[in-house]
Amino acid sequence: MRSEETERKALLESERQRADKFEKKYVEALETIEMMKLEVTERKVLNFKDYNII
């Protein structure tokens, strides 16, 4: 019985670490997407300025 409890605790900790890892990757992906959106917007603004639209 004790061995089963220890095994379950280890499995739970492993899953927590896995979830934390994926959460960090998700946040990094969101940040990357936001940076890409900003870069696209900056390029559009520069193009508008080049054509004296703004």
Q: Domain locations in the chain?
A: 1-54
Q: What's CA 20's distance to the chain center, in Å? A: 11
**Within a 13 Å sphere around the CA of 46, how many CA atoms are in the beta-carbon half?**
6
Tokens matching residue 43: 């390029």
Q: At 52, which amino acid appears?
A: N
Q: How confident is the model at residue 38 (pLDDT cuts 50, 70, 90)?
A: very high
Whether the per-residue pLDDT at 54 is higher than 70: the answer is no
> How far is CA 52 from each of CA 36, 41, 47, rounded to the nearest angstrom?
24, 16, 9
pTM exceeds 0.75, yes or no: no
